Amino acid sequence: MFKFLKLKKDDSKLADLIFKETDRQRRTLDLIPSENFVFSSMLEAIGSPLMNKYSEGYPGKRYYPGNFYYDKIEKLAQERARKVFNLNKNWHINVQPYSGTPANIAIYLGLLNFNDKIMGMKLSAGGHLSHGHNVSFSGRGYKVVHYGVDLKNGFLNYTEIEKLAKKHKPKMIICGATAYPRIIDFQKFSQIAKKVGAYLLADISHIAGLVAAKIHPSPFPFADVVMTTTHKTLRGPRGAVIFCKKELGEKIDKAVFPGLQGGPHNNTIAGIALAFHLAKSKNFINYQKQILKNAGTLAKSLKNFGFDLVTGGTDNHLILIDLKNIGINGFEAEKLLERAGIIANRNTIPSDVSAFRPSGLRLGTPALTSRGMKEKEMKRIAFWIYQILILKKSPEKIKKEVEKMAIKFILPGIDE
Ligand code: DSN
């Protein structure tokens, strides 16, 4: 049990804020699909004295002395990542990116020239800012073509994507999403990329845990580069890993450091090594399976209560509700649910033109599954969402019930 005793002594104000935030996490239901709870062993690894040192460079070729153990830890993280995804030596692995966006930017920096054309999924359709959005460096440093989803059903339309790729001939195609509730067909993306001579980058940040557990198709047989953050379904520290074909390794390494970053966060790299160690266990595989069962149950229950789901359901860890039929927007829904202690974020749905007042609400099950919640709890949560958003019941009244259920489940990392 983490008690923050030393912190209380040194900085009681900060300790109090951390304590309160920890308690908020315990008393509420985190349905944000990109969030998760780490184990206490992870907090120990990332809070360790590894954060004390500089080690620019890579194992065996650092710009500072004293990196004997850091080299071993970085190699351990790389080799464990390789094992989890069953990769042979034809894959090169970089575990230094600070997080997902810097990792994607490093990939562009390493493999493209500025103003080259990239093609990624539109943010409003479920993509990511770093896949070419105009407010991101990715949309300013490169020419961008965006694909969306079929507005009739919410699914990726590979025929349309191929037409677009043939018309614009991008140098890189990016697949992967933050709000797409269905399986991504990496093979189809690869066939399209090959036809136009583009690199294929698969950003599997959201689904990496499912891929590691072999319950989502793997991009590795098809992509030139695979990027994942490590803190979502993988349940690791906030960081990222780039996997690339061996021949691209030098370009990627140079782009990460010295191209884009300085000293690696070695404490995070230790956390990544631990996350990939834990990802080999039976518990991890069962956990990923439960994420899917929970998402399926939540989706089905929400539908039974009259909610309209983009694509009609889910194949993965997340659900996107289209709120238009109940007459509120995502911002209002997010706020109402937050008052009840149900934390889910507003999101655009594919037909939205503005992200300011989007029509969707995004829900995911990785975090609550880490707390040990199962199908029974998902049904209750769907019922509370129905009571608040459709029956307009007071969120404050529901909050008591939410809290009563939430505190029955441990807060990993803190209560274990
Ligand atoms: N912010 C993350 C998400 O919520 O999906 C992606 O970076």
Map residue 73 onto helix, strand or coil: helix
Beta strands in 18-170 (DSSP E): 29-30, 57-58, 61-62, 91-94, 117-121, 143-147
**16-47 confidence digits (pLDDT tens):** 999 999 999 999 999 999 999 999 999 999 99
- The pLDDT score that the predictor gives to residue 356 is 79
For the CA atoms of 270, 276, 280, 286, what is the dihedral angle to 10 degrees? 110
Read off the pLDDT of each residue in 298-303 and give the average, rounded to a whole number: 98
- The pLDDT score that the predictor gives to residue 246 is 98
Sort 104 into a burial class: Cβ within 10 Å, 0-12 / 13-18 / 19+: buried
**72-126 confidence digits (pLDDT tens):** 999 999 999 999 999 999 999 999 999 999 999 999 999 999 999 999 999 999 9
- What is the pairing mode between strands 57-58 and 61-62? antiparallel
Q: Name residues whose C-beta falls within 8 Å of residue 9's C-beta, 6 or more positions apart in sequence.
A: none
Nearest Cα neighbor of 414 from 17, 41, 13 is 41
- The pLDDT score that the predictor gives to residue 89 is 97
| Residue 150 is among the residues annotated as catalytic for this protein | no
Q: What is the token pair recorded at 135?
A: 């407010």
Mean pLDDT taken over the chain: 97
Q: Domain of residue 169: give its range.
A: 90-259
Cis amide bond preceding 258, omega within 30: yes
**320-364 confidence digits (pLDDT tens):** 999 999 999 999 999 999 999 999 999 999 999 877 789 999 999
CA distance 342 to 348: 19
Question: Considering the domain boundaries, does residue 369 fall inside one?
Answer: yes
What does the radius of gyration of the chain's CA atoms come to, in whole angstroms? 21
CATH number at residue 345: 3.90.1150.10
Higher pLDDT, 357 or 283: 283
pTM here? 0.97
Question: Considering the domain boundaries, does residue 380 fall inside one?
Answer: yes
Q: Are residues 207 and 110 in the same domain?
A: yes
Domain edge (last residue) among 200, 228, 259 = 259
Q: Are residues 100 and 247 in the same domain?
A: yes
Q: Is 178 a pocket residue for ligand 1 (Cβ < 6 Å)?
A: yes
Q: What is the token pair recorded at 84?
A: 């989890």
Read off the pLDDT of each residue in 147-163 and give the average, rounded to a whole number: 98
| Residue 229 is among the residues annotated as catalytic for this protein | yes
CA distance 131 to 102: 12
pLDDT tier at 1 (50, 70, 90 boundaries)?
Answer: low
CA of 80 to the centre of ligand 1 (A): 25
Question: Among 178, 227, 363, which residue has the most ligand 1 atoms within 8 Å of its CB, making it the best to mutate?
Answer: 178
pLDDT tier at 365 (50, 70, 90 boundaries)?
Answer: very high
Provide the percentage of residues in the chain whose pLDDT is more than 70.
100
CA distance 64 to 414: 35
| Residue 369 is among the residues annotated as catalytic for this protein | no
- What is the pairing mode between strands 225-229 and 240-245? antiparallel
Structural domains of the chain, count: 2
Q: Are residues 140 and 231 in the same domain?
A: yes
Q: Are residues 145 and 205 in the same domain?
A: yes
Higher pLDDT, 1 or 400: 400
**207-263 confidence digits (pLDDT tens):** 999 999 999 999 999 999 999 999 999 999 999 999 999 999 999 999 999 999 999
